């Protein structure tokens, strides 16, 4: 009879190694440095999310697109919407102002009337400033 205990041990260790060394990517994204604002609120928004990075990358609802595709993509996404749509704009503080305004214009031309720009709270004494009722 062949002893397979050591083989099972090796396979188990291999499985543990693969599980520990695997990286999990939940969706496409960009590393952004959002602008700081003293009036920034820590809140969750509902709507279409547009992310703009300094390297020219643009992501709408988790899918990479070109800047000239923002309008048609928003139009396709809003076809089945019954309530008033909101665009949540997350642009790195290094993105050119003209590029941000072109994205807002494309959104407005395709049915979005409300645009919310996301920022990060201004730091005070090395810690995030918390809004009333919120934990920093």
Per-residue model confidence as pLDDT tens digits over 38-83: 554 545 557 888 999 888 889 998 899 998 999 999 888 888 776 7
Bridge partners (DSSP) listed for residue 121: 37
- Domain with residue 88: its CATH number is 3.30.420
In a domain, 28, yes or no: no
Average pLDDT over residues 76-104: 85
Task: Give me the number of domains the chain comprises.
Answer: 1
Q: Is the pLDDT of residue 25 over 70?
A: no
pTM beyond 0.75: no
Is residue 74 in some structural domain? yes
Range of the domain at 118: 36-122
Residue 62 lies in a domain: yes
Q: Is residue 76 one of the residues assigned to a domain?
A: yes
pLDDT number for residue 37: 59
Whole-Å CA distances, 125 to 24, 120, 121: 34, 15, 13
Q: Look-up: residue for tokens 């407005």? A: 108
**Is residue 102 in a domain?**
yes
20 pLDDT tier (thresholds 50, 70, 90): confident
Examine residue 114 and state whether it is found in any structural domain, yes or no. Answer: yes
Burial 93-122 (b: 16+ CB within 10 A, else e): eebeeeebeebbebbeebbbeebeebbebe
Q: What is the pLDDT of residue 13?
A: 92
**113 is a domain residue:** yes
Which pLDDT score is estimated for 128?
39
- For residue 134, being part of any structural domain is answered with no
């Amino acid at each position: 009879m062949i002893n397979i205990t050591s083989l099972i041990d090796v396979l188990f260790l291999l499985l543990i190694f693969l599980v520990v060394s695997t990286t999990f990517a939940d969706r496409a994204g960009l590393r952004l440095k959002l602008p700081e604002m003293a009036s920034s609120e820590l809140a969750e928004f509902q709507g279409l999310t547009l992310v703009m990075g300094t390297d020219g990358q643009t992501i709408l609802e988790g899918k990479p697109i070109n800047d000239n595709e923002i309008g048609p993509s928003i139009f396709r996404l809003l076809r089945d919407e019954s309530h008033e749509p909101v665009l949540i704009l997350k642009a790195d503080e290094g993105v050119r102002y003209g590029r941000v305004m072109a994205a807002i214009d494309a959104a407005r031309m395709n049915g979005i009337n409300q645009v919310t720009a996301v920022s990060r709270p201004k730091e005070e004494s090395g810690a995030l400033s918390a809004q009333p009722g919120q934990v920093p």
